[in-house]
Amino acid sequence: MEKKQFQAESKRLLEMMINSIYSQREVFLRELISNASDAIDKLYYKALTDATLTFNKESYYIKIIPNKEERTLTIMDTGIGMTAEELETNLGTIAKSGSLAFKKENETKDGHDIIGQFGVGFYAAFMVADVVTVNSKALGSNQAYKWQSEGADGYSIEGTDKETIGTEIILKLKENSEDENYDEFLEEYRLKAIIKKYSDFIRYPIKMDVTTSKPKEENENENVEVLEEQIINSMVPIWRKNKNELKAEDYENFYNEKHYGFDKPLKHIHVSVDGTVRYNALLYIPENIPFDYYSKEYEKGLELYSSGVLIMDKCGDLLPDHFSFVKGLVDSEDLSLNISREMLQQDRQLKFISKNLAKKIKSALQSMLKDARENYETFFKAFGRQLKYGVYADFGANKETLQDLLLFYSSKEKKLVSLEEYVTNMPEDQKYIYYATGDSIERIDKLPQTELVTDKGYEILYFTEDIDEFAIKMLMTYKEKEFRSVSSGDLGIDNEKEDSKTESELEEYKELFDAMKEILGGKVTDVRVSKRLRSHPVCLSADGEITIEMEKILNAMPD
């Protein structure tokens, strides 16, 4: 049987692609810069294997040239260039990636950072341009060629003049219309911002002439505007550097530069993993709560880079909810990206990374608790509530991860203690971990229910946040010790000796108690003699699982 090839309506395909792959127009620049960087990389790898070539890093760069008069934006590189044939195959065929082919051919050589793989990025240029012109001269060739296209209508290739090896892509920007504005891609500040956002860690310098004002030579008091060539990107990703080369200050500067926060982070976590999934990560524990942290608006997530190029600015899947306060980034060359490079094809690698990171975050917090208590308490005051939510959510599934990170105010120590510290300090005869709930420390101090427990010399944990008791109910026990509210019916304290009230005495009060109960109507189920009061005449007590405080919260919740 004869096998037929699929026909593709390439015009339509191109149009669809241009208009539907990317969610943001500005990524055209990311794509063209990535291609330029790949082209320089290829030259570099060629030089590694060819003794007749020398690679002098200084002479390789990318330049962005906006021209307001002509309404053009040029992206030029000093990379490997393209022959007429390569222009034809790589730019004339949708989904043909010369870079992917290059990677395959050179597979044995380790460590290349070539970004391209799908063969569609280049066409992103048509999101902003009517006409795209590519002038290119390939390494080892005497003749330069010009490729030109107005998009769907096809392209032309002809010889042209170009002195140096490399490629220059000239975008004739689309005309502005009522609701579309393309002029922004001619503005220095805008271009700078886009380069910083997506391409800050491209390894070759991205240069641009930037208007700066300088004192006039003949008159120092007067300024003139001059164009000065600047390198816009920072090139070396700090997270790929060796930890020994970096000081605490470098990490802090990066945190502020990245606008993760205006505070000084309490701790950074720098991870390099070279296993089944290779990745680098740089995470921070902030000091201050973001203003919207405990609201629906807050979006958790880390920045996700693939070989130094930004893919997502908030990848939520990288962080569990209970660590949603963590800021930072992950860079991996092992991600399987989707064609727009805005999303991931599958999340196996992501799951692997996020699981690993959660472990690292936990141990970083634990070491902070151990070695920098003051910092930890600052952290806990800001984000402890989130950890408690974490215990409460998932029905205690995060118990192991989170229980050792919790702190509560202690009646005895008069400061925050961990559950471990509490249990270590328990006298041998103490059966339970006691807690009392209330609005504030002062109010709990005055609770009559605490008297017996404190009299016994036992420590009480003060639960002043709504979530506390709910979280503890999920934990159920800590180191096999049950939690028990001081207002529960049974405190498990043997106090027969201290208390001399006999059955007959109780009989004696029966009438009084019945009268009290009647007066209180349905508000109480019973009035009894209490064995736990010392200086107070009366207290409320609850039977069963739900304590008085929990009941209050549950009643206050909307149905």
Closest contact distance (angstroms) between CB of 115 and Mg ion is: 6
Query: Shortest gap between Cβ of 243 and ligand ADP (angstroms)?
Result: 32
237 binds, among Mg ion, ligand ADP, none (CB under 5 to 8 A by kind): none
Provide the residue count of the chain: 559
Cβ distance to Mg ion smaller for residue 38 or 200: 38
Number of residues that bind Mg ion (CB under 5 A): 3
Strand-pair partners of 269: 283
Do 28 and 128 touch, CB atoms closer than 8 A? Answer: yes
Annotated binding residue at 122? yes
Please indicate if the annotation marks 411 as binding a ligand: no
Helical segments of 326-447, H only: 348-371, 373-392, 399-402, 419-424, 441-445
Minimum distance from residue 381 beta carbon to ligand ADP (Å): 48
* Interface pattern 84-123 for ligand ADP (x via CB under 6 A): ------xx-----xxxx---------------xxxxxxx-
CA separation for the pair 342, 312 (Å, rounded): 6
Question: Quick one: which of 311, 310, 305, 307 has its CA closest to 338?
Answer: 311
> Is residue 79 at the binding interface for Mg ion, with CB under 5 A as the rule?
no
Nearest approach in angstroms of CB 17 to ligand ADP is 10
Interatomic CA distance for residues 512 and 527, integer angstroms: 9
Looking at residue 221, its amino acid is: N
Q: Where are the alpha helices (DSSP H) in 167-307?
A: 188-199, 248-257
Contact 388, 443 (CB under 8 A): no
167 binds Mg ion (CB under 5 A): no
- Nearest distance, CB of residue 100 and ligand ADP, angstroms: 6
x/- mask, ligand ADP, residues 149-168, rule CB under 6 A, reads ------------------x-
Strands 129-137 and 72-77: unpaired
Total Cβ atoms within 10 A of residue 132 = 22
Of 104-143, which residues contact Mg ion (CB under 5 A)?
116, 121
Q: Which residues contact 503 (CB under 8 A, 6 or more apart)?
A: none
Pick from 45, 63, 66, 79: which binds ligand ADP (CB under 6 A)?
79
| Residue keyed to tokens 């010399």 | 457
Which 235-294 positions form the footprint of ligand ADP (CB under 6 A)? none
Please, which residue, 14 or 433, has the CB nearer to ligand ADP? 14
Shortest distance, CB of residue 38 to Mg ion, whole angstroms? 7
Between 167 and 450, name the residue whose CB sits nearer to ligand ADP: 167
Closer to Mg ion by Cβ: residue 38 or 459? 38
307 binds, options ligand ADP, Mg ion, none, Cβ within 5 to 8 A by partner type: none
Q: How far is the CB of 149 from Mg ion (least distance, A)?
A: 16
Choose among Mg ion, ligand ADP, none what residue 77 binds, the Cβ cut-off being 5 to 8 Å by kind.
ligand ADP
Residue for token digits 């990535």?
34
Q: Are strands 155-160 and 144-149 parallel, antiparallel or unpaired?
A: antiparallel
Note whether 275 and 334 are within 8 A (CB). no
Closest CB to Mg ion among residues 96, 192: 96
Q: How far apart are CA 344 and CA 332, in angstroms?
A: 12
Other Cβ atoms less than 10 A from the Cβ of 107: the count is 9
221 marked ligand binding residue: no
Is 550 annotated as ligand-binding? no
Q: How far is the CB of 369 from Mg ion (least distance, A)?
A: 46
Name residue, tokens 């989707």.
338
Give the residues across from 72 on adjacent strands. Answer: 67, 172
Of 99 and 488, CB closest to ligand ADP = 99
Positions 25 through 64 that interact with Mg ion (CB under 5 A): 35
Q: Which two three-digit tokens encode residue 150?
A: 């107005």
The verdict on whether residue 98 carries a ligand-binding annotation is yes
> CA geometry: angle at 162 spanning 156 and 163, to 5°?
165
CA distance 498 to 456: 11
On whether the CB atoms of residues 365 and 283 are closer than 8 A, the answer is: no
Query: Using the rule CB under 6 A, is 39 a contact of ligand ADP?
Result: yes
Judged by CB under 6 A, the residue of 35, 386, 398, 547 near ligand ADP is: 35
- Pick between residue 35 and residue 340 the one whose CB is nearest to ligand ADP: 35
Tokens representing 450?
């605490």
Q: Distance between CA 450 and CA 11 in Å, rounded?
A: 79
The count of other CB atoms within 10 Å of the CB of residue 290 is 16
What does the per-residue mask of binding to ligand ADP show for 165-194, with x meaning CB under 6 A?
Answer: --x---------------------------
- The least distance separating ligand ADP from the CB of residue 116, rounded to whole angstroms, comes to 2
Is 272 known to sit in a ligand binding site?
no
- Please state whether beta strands 433-437 and 481-485 pair in parallel, antiparallel, or not at all (unpaired): parallel
The residues, ordered by sequence, that sit 6+ positions from 53 with a Cβ below 8 Å of its Cβ are: 43, 46, 47
Report what 120 binds from Mg ion, ligand ADP, none; CB cut-off 5-8 Å by kind: ligand ADP
By a kind-dependent CB cut-off of 5 to 8 A, residue 167 interacts, out of ligand ADP, Mg ion, none, with: ligand ADP
Q: Is 117 annotated as a binding residue?
A: yes
Note whether 31 binds ligand ADP by CB under 6 A.
yes
Min dist. Cβ of residue 133 to Mg ion (A): 18
| Binds 315: which of Mg ion, ligand ADP, none (CB < 5-8 Å by kind) | none
Name the nearest CA neighbour of 268 among 312, 187, 203, 327: 327
User: According to the annotation, is 167 in a ligand binding site?
Assistant: yes
Nearer to ligand ADP, 79 or 265 (CB): 79
| Cβ atoms within 10 Å of 380's Cβ, excluding its own | 20
Smaller CB separation from ligand ADP, 122 or 323: 122
Rounded CA separation 415/528 (Å): 34
Binding residues for ATP: 31, 35, 77, 82, 90, 96-98, 117-122, 167, 341
Q: Rule CB under 6 A: which residues touch ligand ADP?
A: 31, 35-36, 39, 77, 79-80, 82, 90-91, 97-100, 116-122, 167
Q: Rule CB under 5 A: which residues touch Mg ion?
A: 35, 116, 121
